[in-house]
Structure 1
Amino acid sequence: ADRMLRARGYRLVRVHQRMRRPLAGPLPAPRWPEGVTVRPCDGTPEELRRVHACAEEAFADRYEGVGRTFERWSADLVHERTDPALWVLAERAGRIVGVAVCDLTTVQDAPSGEVCQLAVAREARRTGLGKALLLAAFARFADRGVTTVGLDVDSESPTGAHHLYARAGMAVTATIGQFELSLPAR
């Protein structure tokens, strides 16, 4: 596919990684930064808007910087099976400074966890909050009998998220190339 796309003028612009981790055995406990409180999402429209705001702020420096409106975000992440009790919210002084938006799915006929978004506000980065959120998500999945957890990540994440996930025991199971073709203006 790579050769075929390149032969037709496409160029590789980004590589995304699919990462997975088994949840067998004891899991490391999260270590929360000072002043951070942790709780599940209550699922109210107001809280969902606060989670969205935290995620959008955290992902403002993503590739192409294109954000999602609350309506698009909720259409992508909130559905009839959504269980906000799986989501991990970190607050400091009443402000959400980190979120792990999680969902249950099925992989090879077995329940699996999915970290749909892991977001940390700029002022809370480099404090261990991202790793703590990830480990807390693993624990919530394990408490529900889930044996694996996965996520997708941009391999060129400006925050180095893929390195954090690898340090937390996740391994790359697939890479997905994003190709683009420049078209002449009409």
Structure 2
Amino acid sequence: MATVETSPDLAPLAERADAPATLPALTAGGLTWRPATADDAAALLDLRNTTAEADAEPYRETLEELTELFDAPWRRFEDDSILGFDADGALRAYGHVETLPGDSRTLRAFLFGGVHPSRRGEGIGRELFAWQVARARQVLAASGKELPARIGVFAEDDGPAAKLRLYERAGLEPRRFYSDLRRDLRDLEAEPLPEVTLDGSLRLVPFSADLDEATRLAHNDAFRDHWGSEPNTREQWTGGRTGFAPQWSRLVVDDAPDVQALLADEHTDDETAAALRAGEPLVVGYAMNELYTEDFEVRGYSFGYTAVLGTRRAYRGRKAGLAALLASMRAFAADGMEYACLDVDTANPSGAHGLYAHLGYTKTHGSRLLSIEL
């Protein structure tokens, strides 16, 4: 488990969060409200996909994904979610506040929600978002973690202007911008992918279950200096894998790491150090990929999606992540995918934008994170 950092110069989080004693009432639209349960997965799927279509979002969800949300032990839907039903029992609005157990540098509360297109303009969304922000403040205040904190929401750049106005009126400001990129794989003879040779004892291998934990440790190390990233616990790392495509995922391992040098490195985290002492495999680069066939029609093409890509900090400059990505792209193409897709923080500290441009990736659309920083 990652060590939780403290921030002694900050006021107590309970004070910074300014949590209300009670949550605001939800009265607009005459809806009946209650927390979500696993039995609501199908109705929630229909509502979320309906709002995604209305807002021209470039993705859809499946029942398996929605069902999986309720399986995560850290989610407290009974306290952190709310559903609004009309007089006929149809789901017309939802809100959810999500916190993650691995947060150790900045404690985050993400807000997800929406209102059915047929019920917009009645003030439901405004009241619902106020409920979510208030609940997020309560959750943060009660966390027991004395850390910087964030209330955040993601939005598509070309989404409804009314949503962005709602978020900004509630005090959230744009903090980070993301680009969704794609690379054409349909004619690799005309647009070939570069060849990469790994040096020393580095070896490219397919993803396998026995390397999953070593990949989690590599990911936590790789993203430690990325804004907004927090360590993944084991349950976070292995949860939410409905779309995971192990057949496309690729890893780079070091068969003969300099254990003593890594143990002496002040940046080596405790979990990696324990794994090195135990003689466990060391994953140094990885590309974890996903398959979302439900999005093919929405986007108008088939694709493989690289969800997380990274290289351990001590191995940067040795092309481990690049080798894993290129092998992934070739795996996509071998299975008939027309494009390789991924998204990237526009301020990524590793210079990823230049790498992706060099490989032929181009931007298709963008999104942003808006937040209240506490």
Q: Same fold (TM over 0.5)?
A: yes
Q: Aligned pair 1:103/2:268, yes or no? A: no
With 103-112 and 84-93 compared, the bigger mean Cα shift is at 103-112
2:203 to 37, 58, 63: 37
| CA positional deviation for 1:165 | 1.3
- The answer for the alignment partner of 2:184 in structure 1 is 22
Partner AA of 2:342 in structure 1: L
Pairwise CA distance, 1:59: 0.8
Contact 2:199/2:318 (CA < 8 Å) preserved in 1?
A: no
Alignment of 1:84 with 2:246, yes or no, is yes
TM-superposed CA distance for 1:3, in Å, is 5.3
Q: Is this contact kept in 2: 1:83–1:103, CA < 8 A?
A: yes
**What is residue 119 of structure 1 aligned with on the other side?**
310
Q: 2:211 aligns with which of 40, 47, 64?
A: 47
The TM-score normalised by the length of structure 2 is 0.45
Aligned to 2:329: 138
Q: Which structure ranks higher in relative contact order (CA pairs < 8 Å, sequence separation ≥ 6)? A: 1
Structure 1: which 5+ runs fail to align? Answer: none
Between Structure 1 and Structure 2, the one with more strand by share is: 1
* Shift, 1:87, TM fit: 1.0
Residue in structure 1 matched with residue 372 of structure 2 by the alignment: 181
Q: Does 1:11 align with 2:198?
A: no
* Native 8 Å contact 1:104 1:111 kept in 2: no
CA distance in 1, matches of 2:285, 2:332: 18
For structure 2, list consecutive stretches of 5 or more residues without a partner in the other structure.
Answer: 1-160, 257-280
How far apart are the structure 1 equivalents of 2:230 and 2:282? 24
Contact 1:131 1:168 in 2 (8 A): no
Identity over aligned pairs, percent: 27
Instruction: Classify 1:4/1:164 alpha carbon distance in 2 versus 1 (closer, same or farther; 3 Å).
Output: same
Contact 2:250 2:324 in 1 (8 A): yes
Secondary structure of residue in 2 paired with 1:113: strand
Q: State the shift of 1:65 in Å.
A: 4.0
Kindly name which structure, 1 or 2, has the bigger radius of gyration based on alpha carbons: 2
- SS of 2:317's equivalent? coil
Matching residue of 2:348: 157
TM-score relative to the length of structure 1: 0.85
> Deviation at 1:74?
1.3
Q: CA deviation at 1:32?
A: 2.5
Decide whether aligned partners of structure 1 residues 141 and 65 sit closer, same or farther in structure 2, where only a CA change above 3 A counts.
closer
Q: What is the deviation of 1:124?
A: 1.5
Runs of 4+ with >6 A deviation: none
| SS, match of residue 181 in structure 1 | strand
The aligned length equals 179
CA RMSD of aligned residues (A): 2.1
Aligned in 2, Cα 1:10/1:97: closer, same or farther, shift over 3 Å?
Answer: same
Structure 2 counterpart SS, 1:98: strand
